[in-house]
Amino acid sequence: TTTERTLVLVKPDGFERGLTGEVLRRIEAKGYTLAQLQILTPDRERLAQHYAEHEGKPFYEPLLEFMSSGPVTAAVVEGDRCIEGFRSLAGATDPTKAAPGTIRGDLGRDWGPGVQKNIVHGSDSAESAEREIGIWFGGQGA
């Protein structure tokens, strides 16, 4: 087995719709561990770091606007190959294309220019995971 850590966010749409517990339930049901957890409304600076790779893309500004619009739950998730595993649980970026059975496929709705309400974020590689854990949990055992 390869125990990994990944950074999961329940985005403001998930919080507003009362889906935080459902997302965390799916993570635990899969067998992953919640190592760290916090609820916060992220500021622009933190989001700019988190989404640095997307700076300059057409959806960047609306994305930061949306992500700073309300509370987000940030979690460090631990488990065997959980980086790829959580991406599988989350499903495709566009909720309409995400397969049923996935978080985005089962629960996500809105998508389009300026709208990216796909409920969750999950790190896409080991490097991204460590970088993102530092951004959200820096100084707290990150």
Write down the catalytic residue from 26, 46, 117, 121: 121
Among 22, 78, 84, 124, binds ligand DAT (CB under 6 A): 124
- Rounded Cα distance, 142 and 140, in Å: 5
Nearer to ligand DAT, 65 or 140 (CB): 65
Among this protein's residues, is 50 annotated catalytic? no
**Which listed range, 29-37, 70-78, 113-121, 127-135, lies at the site for ligand DAT (CB under 6 A)?**
113-121
Please report whether residue 50 would count as binding ligand DAT according to CB under 6 A: no
Where helices occur in 6-81 by DSSP H, the ranges are 12-16, 20-30, 44-50, 60-67
Where helices occur in the chain by DSSP H, the ranges are 12-16, 20-30, 44-50, 60-67, 82-90, 103-107, 126-137
Q: Where along the sequence are the contacts to ligand DAT (CB under 6 A)?
A: 54, 59, 63, 93, 116, 118, 121, 124
